[in-house]
Chain A
Amino acid sequence: MNGYGGTILRVNLTDGKISKEPTPAQLARDFIGGRGFGIYFLFKEVPKGIDPLGPENKLFISTGPLSGMMAPGGGKCDWTTKSPLTGGYADASMGGHFTAEMKYAGIDTIILEGISTKPVYLFIDNDKIQLLDASSLWGKGAIDVEVELKHKYGEEYQIAAIGPGGENQVLYACINHDFGRQAGRGGVGAVMGSKKLKAIVLHGTKSVAVADLESYRKAGLALYKACKDAEGLAEWSRYGTTVVTSWCNEVGALPTRNFSAGSFEGIDHINGQAMRKEIVITDKGCFGCPSPCGKYSNMKRYNTQVEGPEYETIGLMGSNLGIADIQSVAEANRLADDLGLDTISTGSCIAWAMECYEKGILTKADTDGLELKFGNTEAVFTLIKKIAHREGKIGDLLALGVKQASQEVGKGSEKFAIQVKGMEQSAYATHNATAMLLAYMTCDVGAHHNRSWAITYDLQVGREKVVPEKVARIIWLQNFRPMFDVFGSCRLQWVELGIDRELYCPLLESITGIKRSWQDLEAVGNRIWNLTRMYWARENDSFGREWDYPAQRFYTEPPKTGATAGQITKFEDVQKLLDMYYEQRGWDDNGLPTQATLETLNLTALVV
């Protein structure tokens, strides 16, 4: 099958059975790859109501037709599972070189099922596939594990590993790869840890057939040229995602002290300029990427290295914690990476705990003696380690994520648990930016910005406006942006460099042999969107409108300082946004796809 590895690899960790099936052509036609394959398999193979950390959950790792090809950013794979953090749909997109290697090993999806009695790692070298003993690796940090396995097998081998965070099933544990890339959110690392799978070692040397070689070469080179000609390439590559840090601060979008404000007084010590000045050594890129956003850094104070911090980590582990020092943020980043914790969720949980501490809701008796005041860097380092090991009352509490932790502690702390559907909000404060707020409310993994991002649109249209155009924009972005996760590639070449997305169509056609316009592709995106929505509904009997509500802070507590001081969204506008959104999506008043919508999308058979 042109453009595909051709095989679905099934690995049963309970009985050790390893089997292969050919990738169904109809699946490739209907769902294309990546996130599309993920939701298809999740719906089909994971029974309703199972425990995400139990033997019946599965972890699906999928490439897409652009993975491993001569395509800018063709370096992403999608990890899909039932989330232990939210109880709903989770997927995480991982960069680096793993997806390419999967493709060259002839694999489109790896299905990890069951639970091993002992720690193992999965070894894949073309057709030699084994589950091997990982007892000597268990307990080690993800960085050390990658070093060890590359040393053992060779530099060509690609490694994905969990740290102690995943082993201990911290609900937002992540998976690490290529010394700085993660399958970050939703607890995919906890699922891998629950299966006692410590790492995956991957090596492939096969070729990938394409439908039209000359057209493929031409289309690929055209995309690279567009990226190289893009205005802003040099600036983007120099600063990566940190390029927006100062701007976010200026427009009140930078999460500050548990999202109590959107601007931070210490901005000059944590922005892109500070990074380049103090720590960055190398611009590091994922497979095939002409616009390397990775900022590999060396922290002289600690004598450590990390790929990062990304903007998200600067937000959630810098300004959100009241920390005004880039080396401290970078070291917190490194600790989280090595221990295998999603930096966004970790930062949010710590910020929540700090607010609890400053309000007297948590005392030193609850924090194992830690002085959890905003700005206390040493306490942050200690706490990250405690969380990863579920150590002490506070470590174990925060390992649950901010929603469950606040439900346990109570005393009004739920009001400042900044999450939607149980996932901690990523680094854009939305006190007064209604399109972005809607993006977070309706994102299908919880409060993450991956599916749609619209702050500029908010500023262009009028940030407090609640109008159908904003809703239409969010819906369009939600149908369109995740298609890159389906292609197995990065979206940032379109998002950040602004290249013409039409260039992807001839590339996809020359690879797969199937002609698809962006209208066709967005239709697939819309179909996937409704499927992930139905998955949430299937798993949660009470699922509906209230699950889409934003964190309470954004309609009750105007910031006292910063660019959005005194500004807040009205709850009636939250409802108005949802009314318009459901209507435009073809969903009922409670936010569930109507029968008519499911029929139009040809989904009724799948969602039974």
Chain B
Amino acid sequence: MRLYADSAKCSGCRACLVACSLNLFQESNPKKASLNLIPHFPNPGVYEMKVCTQCGDCAAVCPTEAIKLNDRGAYYVDFAECNLCEACVPECPEDVMFVRTELANTAWKCDLCGDCVSVCGTSALWIAN
């Protein structure tokens, strides 16, 4: 199972980012979310979405084995085990491995909670095999 995004349906509202940060950090802070929403304005005037495909490249390279599998079968970061080495960040083909030390003392990524899908009004996000 993994998250899918159809950029053509994205309205840039960022509800997904708020729902995500609430799940990961119990905060309403879209900068601490694990999807990548890229606006391209004023021209051509579209939003680009990047989401975790659960490829596992981040887990493969993590030296502390901080990136584990949860009971949804998705890779997630165990915050207690992350040492902020940032080896995972360049490995991610979708740019959805996040390290921002001014915001959190750990790397973070999508754990497939599905809350983003629940709040997306345009059905731009869904979870499937």
Interface positions of A (Cβ within 8 A of B): 68-70, 72, 75, 97, 100, 104, 143, 147, 155-156, 178-179, 205-208, 210, 213, 217, 220-221, 224-225, 227-228, 233, 237, 281-292, 294, 296-298, 305
CA distance A178 to B47 in the complex (A): 13
Across the interface, do B46 and A288 meet the contact criterion of CB distance under 8 Å? no
Is the C-beta of B53 less than 8 angstroms from some C-beta in chain A? no
Is the C-beta of B82 less than 8 angstroms from some C-beta in chain A? no
Give the nearest-CB partner of A103 in chain B: B28
Across the interface, do B30 and A286 meet the contact criterion of CB distance under 8 Å? no
Q: Which 10 A-B pairs have the closest CB atoms?
A: A290-B121, A285-B11, A292-B11, A285-B13, A179-B41, A207-B27, A224-B119, A296-B45, A70-B18, A289-B13
CA distance A284 to B40 in the complex (A): 12
Give the nearest-CB partner of B45 in chain A: A296
| A288-B14 contact in complex given A104-B29, A213-B26, C-beta closer than 8 Å | yes
Set of chain B residues within 8 Å of A297, measured between Cβ atoms:
45
Across the interface, do A70 and B118 meet the contact criterion of CB distance under 8 Å? no
Interface positions of B (Cβ within 8 A of A): 9, 11-15, 18-19, 22, 26-31, 38-39, 41-47, 102-103, 115, 118-122
Across the interface, do A70 and B22 meet the contact criterion of CB distance under 8 Å? yes
| A221-B118 contact in complex given A207-B27, A283-B11, A288-B13, C-beta closer than 8 Å | yes
Contact of B11 among A72, A100, A284 (CB under 8 A): A284
Among A100, A217, A282, max chain B CB count under 10 A is at A282
Across the interface, do A221 and B122 meet the contact criterion of CB distance under 8 Å? no
Contact of A281 among B28, B30, B44 (CB under 8 A): B44
Contact of B15 among A208, A224, A283, A296 (CB under 8 A): A224
Across the interface, do B42 and A287 meet the contact criterion of CB distance under 8 Å? no
| A208-B119 contact in complex given A283-B11, A284-B12, A294-B11, C-beta closer than 8 Å | no
CA distance A289 to B14 in the complex (A): 8
Give the nearest-CB partner of B8 in chain A: A282
Across the interface, do A207 and B42 meet the contact criterion of CB distance under 8 Å? no
Across the interface, do A205 and B11 meet the contact criterion of CB distance under 8 Å? no
Across the interface, do B39 and A217 meet the contact criterion of CB distance under 8 Å? no
Across the interface, do A287 and B121 meet the contact criterion of CB distance under 8 Å? no
Across the interface, do A97 and B42 meet the contact criterion of CB distance under 8 Å? no
Across the interface, do A100 and B30 meet the contact criterion of CB distance under 8 Å? yes
Set of chain A residues within 8 Å of B38, measured between Cβ atoms:
155
| A292-B13 contact in complex given A225-B118, A283-B122, C-beta closer than 8 Å | yes
A405 to chain B, nearest CB (A): 32
| A70-B119 contact in complex given A155-B39, A288-B13, A290-B13, C-beta closer than 8 Å | yes
Set of chain B residues within 8 Å of A228, measured between Cβ atoms:
121
Among A208, A220, A221, max chain B CB count under 10 A is at A220
| A237-B122 contact in complex given A70-B22, A284-B11, A292-B13, C-beta closer than 8 Å | yes
Set of chain A residues within 8 Å of B121, measured between Cβ atoms:
72, 224, 227-228, 233, 237, 285, 289-292
Across the interface, do A287 and B14 meet the contact criterion of CB distance under 8 Å? yes
| A70-B15 contact in complex given A155-B39, A205-B29, A281-B46, C-beta closer than 8 Å | yes
Set of chain B residues within 8 Å of A296, measured between Cβ atoms:
41, 45
Set of chain B residues within 8 Å of A221, measured between Cβ atoms:
19, 115, 118-119
Give the nearest-CB partner of A289 in chain B: B13
B66 to chain A, nearest CB (A): 23
CA distance A289 to B11 in the complex (A): 9
Set of chain B residues within 8 Å of A75, measured between Cβ atoms:
13
CA distance A70 to B22 in the complex (A): 9
CA distance A288 to B21 in the complex (A): 13
A136 to chain B, nearest CB (A): 20
Set of chain A residues within 8 Å of B19, measured between Cβ atoms:
70, 220-221
Give the nearest-CB partner of A69 in chain B: B28
A94 to chain B, nearest CB (A): 15
CA distance A562 to B51 in the complex (A): 52
Give the nearest-CB partner of B23 in chain A: A217
Contact of A147 among B13, B29, B42, B122 (CB under 8 A): B42
CA distance A221 to B45 in the complex (A): 29
CA distance A285 to B46 in the complex (A): 11
Across the interface, do B28 and A208 meet the contact criterion of CB distance under 8 Å? yes
CA distance A140 to B12 in the complex (A): 26
Across the interface, do A70 and B28 meet the contact criterion of CB distance under 8 Å? yes
Contact of B118 among A213, A224, A285, A292 (CB under 8 A): A224
Set of chain B residues within 8 Å of A283, measured between Cβ atoms:
9, 11, 122
CA distance A205 to B44 in the complex (A): 28
Give the nearest-CB partner of A208 in chain B: B28
Set of chain B residues within 8 Å of A213, measured between Cβ atoms:
26
Across the interface, do A298 and B44 meet the contact criterion of CB distance under 8 Å? yes
CA distance A155 to B19 in the complex (A): 20
CA distance A298 to B119 in the complex (A): 28
B122 to chain A, nearest CB (A): 6
Across the interface, do B120 and A290 meet the contact criterion of CB distance under 8 Å? yes
| A305-B15 contact in complex given A283-B122, A290-B121, C-beta closer than 8 Å | no
15 A-B residue pairs with CB within 8 Å: A68-B28, A75-B13, A100-B30, A104-B31, A205-B103, A217-B22, A237-B122, A281-B45, A282-B45, A283-B11, A287-B13, A289-B121, A292-B12, A298-B44, A298-B45
A487 to chain B, nearest CB (A): 15
Set of chain B residues within 8 Å of A289, measured between Cβ atoms:
11, 13, 15, 121
A244 to chain B, nearest CB (A): 20
Across the interface, do B13 and A305 meet the contact criterion of CB distance under 8 Å? no
CA distance A68 to B13 in the complex (A): 11
Contact of A143 among B26, B39, B42, B47 (CB under 8 A): B42
CA distance A205 to B98 in the complex (A): 15
Set of chain B residues within 8 Å of A156, measured between Cβ atoms:
31
Set of chain B residues within 8 Å of A281, measured between Cβ atoms:
44-46
Give the nearest-CB partner of B9 in chain A: A283
Give the nearest-CB partner of A281 in chain B: B45
A34 to chain B, nearest CB (A): 17
Across the interface, do A286 and B18 meet the contact criterion of CB distance under 8 Å? no
Among B12, B47, B120, max chain A CB count under 10 A is at B12
Among A68, A283, A291, max chain B CB count under 10 A is at A283
Set of chain B residues within 8 Å of A286, measured between Cβ atoms:
13
| A288-B18 contact in complex given A205-B102, A305-B43, C-beta closer than 8 Å | yes
CA distance A282 to B38 in the complex (A): 14
Give the nearest-CB partner of B115 in chain A: A221
Across the interface, do B31 and A205 meet the contact criterion of CB distance under 8 Å? yes
